[in-house]
Chain A
Amino acid sequence: MADELDQPRDDLERRDAEPHLPSPTIWPFAFAAGIALVLIGLIVSWIVAAIGAVLAIVFGLLWIRDATRGVRAEPEPAPPAAVTPTDVDLEARADEPARYPRAKFLEGATLGIGALIGGVITLPVVGFAIGPAFIDQGYDDVDLGPLDNFPAGQFIITTFYSKGDKYGEVGLRTAYIRNNGLVNEVPSFTIVSGRCVHLGCPVQPQGPISEEQKKSVKAKGGEVILTPTQPSGFGCPCHGGAYNAEGERTAGPPVRSLDRYRYAIIEGNLVLKTPYSVGKVDGSGADAKIHAYKLADPGQHVDGPEQIFYPIIL
């Protein structure tokens, strides 16, 4: 009987001899960061608030688990330094001053908070440096003026401002436009981009250019310059890439056919829509069957075995 009573008393005494403190924990910091995120999110965006809420809940629970470990009589996790030190370790440590858990905690906290601050500052900056290059990279529709300027069966060198006033001369692009005549009462166009698909130089029409018939049209998107030409094909001055009149590669380093533009006819005007890349062209003119792909940078394969090198086309 006495033994049974003594046993808990002994236990109590032992517990009183030690301070009743939960072991140090880092979770409150993360919990506080979560709360701060919730508050920021209330102003900025609900996504941030949701992330903050998740963080606060997760780290709050972890904190509670740590703090209540003594009450729940769960054993403290074993200290990691259970490995018996070797002679070398002892020798190496002999010179070091004694280290205390508190000092270690402060060291860790300093490094951790420093890393957090560094990350919070660096990430948005890096994002700003990289992000805009990938976001909202569209092509504007370009009005090229009335259809009458594109007589059937003739190529017109069309130089236009692809981005209006926003880019100015830097946005100047050239397309080779041929009216293929009426198909089901609607005019059909072949619109070949002037950008060589080798490395992006401007391709030139191979054939006479009627400079004297050059004319300028004031369209909605800015000035459009139209010059008739009779090309047998297109050639690139930079590295000798050659294409036929349908834009198919006939010689030289290009890896696919010339890009083309989608188009629409709006209120009697020819309007350029988004460009697209072309693999092969079967047939010609209005009957051409065009193997279309998402617009790729020059030099990137869109078909054939080499396309596996370009799994993601932006």
Chain B
Amino acid sequence: MATKPRSKRQQQLEAALLAPVDWLEERSGLVGALKYFLFRKVPRETNWFHTLGSATLTAFLVQAITGAILAMYYKPSPNEAYESIQAITNDLFAGWLVRGMHRWGASVMIILLFLHMGRVFLFGAYKYPRELNWLIGVVLLLMAMLEGFTGYLLPWDDTAYWATVVGVNLNANAPIAGPFIGNLLTGGAEIGTETLSRFYAIHMLLLPGGIFALIGLHLYLVIRLGVTPPPWTESAAGYEEPTNGRPARSGLVSPAPRGNGKTTPGGRKVDR
């Protein structure tokens, strides 16, 4: 394809647009990093199932943003919590929407998390060399469940209160450590004023910070180790397509071929 020679004005415009990008790249390397992230190689057979992780991340970001905004209006004290939630839902402009996003988004996030986990399990994506990422994912799952548990108390109505009573006492039933866990969760011998502020701090400061950090680690490992191809594809079974002209598949190791253990010189598959 012949490219049209660009006019001087076009060149000037391009330079003006690119100058800040170049400035940033020269000083931080961020542009290169972003390019590496966006244009990294992924298996050709990547499909919609592979989007579940990103979907979970998106759900978490929605939770983080709506949660931060809800925190502007929510008052985590026993005398004001219920009224402030009522005000958010009924009185404040668009409060019902943001609270609804947070409330239903919580369920969406947990559902997506489990679907993502199921995908990773069924695709065998937890196997070498990605075991560590599975473990991080398990911790993320636990933290998300804890987010649900601590967030459930915050509306401070009867459902929230008694559900938390039962939830805390379930944990307090654990052998030996039980009584300690109970006191630790409630911030005292019984659910009281301390419990609400405690759950609030855990819900919106401690856990989200940890989740953000672990998601960063999770993504780093995904980028470093590559995306797992689906198990029904040839690359997953250990056959490599010839790479002439096309980019090679990602993945750290090329597994030993199955079948009779031989590949043709071009890497073309042998009989199964």
Residue B78 at the A interface, CB < 8 A?
A: yes
B78 near A310 with CB under 8 A, answer: no
Q: Residue among A132, A200, A202 with the most chain B CB within 10 A?
A: A200
Residue B175 at the A interface, CB < 8 A?
A: yes
Interfacial chain A residues near B192, Cβ < 8 Å: 163, 167, 170-171
Residue B270 at the A interface, CB < 8 A?
A: no
Of A91-99, A109-117, A242-250, A296-304, the stretch lying at the interface with chain B is: A296-304
A297 near B78 with CB under 8 A, answer: no
Interfacial chain B residues near A309, Cβ < 8 Å: 175-176, 178
Interfacial chain A residues near B168, Cβ < 8 Å: 200
How many Å lie between the Cα of A238 and that of B167 in the bound state? 12
A133 near B172 with CB under 8 A, answer: no
How many Å lie between the Cα of A314 and that of B193 in the bound state? 20
Q: Contact residue range for chain B?
A: 20 to 34
Q: Residue among A167, A169, A170, A201 with the most chain B CB within 10 A?
A: A170
Shortest C-beta distance, B234 to chain A (Å), equals 40
Q: A199-B166, A309-B176 are in contact. Are A167 and B183 (CB under 8 A)?
A: no
Interfacial chain A residues near B135, Cβ < 8 Å: none
How many Å lie between the Cα of A312 and that of B175 in the bound state? 10
Residue B136 at the A interface, CB < 8 A?
A: no
B172 near A299 with CB under 8 A, answer: yes
Interfacial chain A residues near B191, Cβ < 8 Å: 170
Residue B263 at the A interface, CB < 8 A?
A: no
> Considering only CB atoms, which chain A residue lies closest to B187 in the complex?
A133
Q: Contact residue range for chain A?
A: 20 to 34
Residue B162 at the A interface, CB < 8 A?
A: yes
How many Å lie between the Cα of A238 and that of B158 in the bound state? 13
B165 near A200 with CB under 8 A, answer: yes
B187 near A297 with CB under 8 A, answer: no
Residue A134 at the B interface, CB < 8 A?
A: yes
Residue B79 at the A interface, CB < 8 A?
A: yes
How many Å lie between the Cα of A226 and that of B176 in the bound state? 38
Interfacial chain B residues near A202, Cβ < 8 Å: 162
Interfacial chain B residues near A297, Cβ < 8 Å: 169, 172-173, 178-179, 182
How many Å lie between the Cα of A300 and that of B183 in the bound state? 14
Interfacial chain B residues near A139, Cβ < 8 Å: 189
How many Å lie between the Cα of A169 and that of B193 in the bound state? 10
A300 CB contact (under 8 Å) in B78, B162, B166, B179: B179
User: Using an 8 Å CB-CB cutoff, how does the interface string of A186-215 with B read, 1 for contact, 0 for none?
Assistant: 000000000000111110000000000000
B145-200 contacts to A, CB under 8 A, are 162, 165-166, 168-170, 172-173, 175-176, 178-180, 182-184, 186-189, 191-194
Q: Which residues of B contact A (CB under 8 A)?
A: 78-79, 162, 165-166, 168-170, 172-173, 175-176, 178-180, 182-184, 186-189, 191-194
| Nearest 7 A/B pairs, CB to CB | A309-B175, A299-B173, A137-B189, A297-B172, A199-B169, A200-B169, A200-B165
Q: Which residues of A contact B (CB under 8 A)?
A: 130, 132-134, 137, 139, 163, 166-171, 198-202, 238, 296-300, 309-314
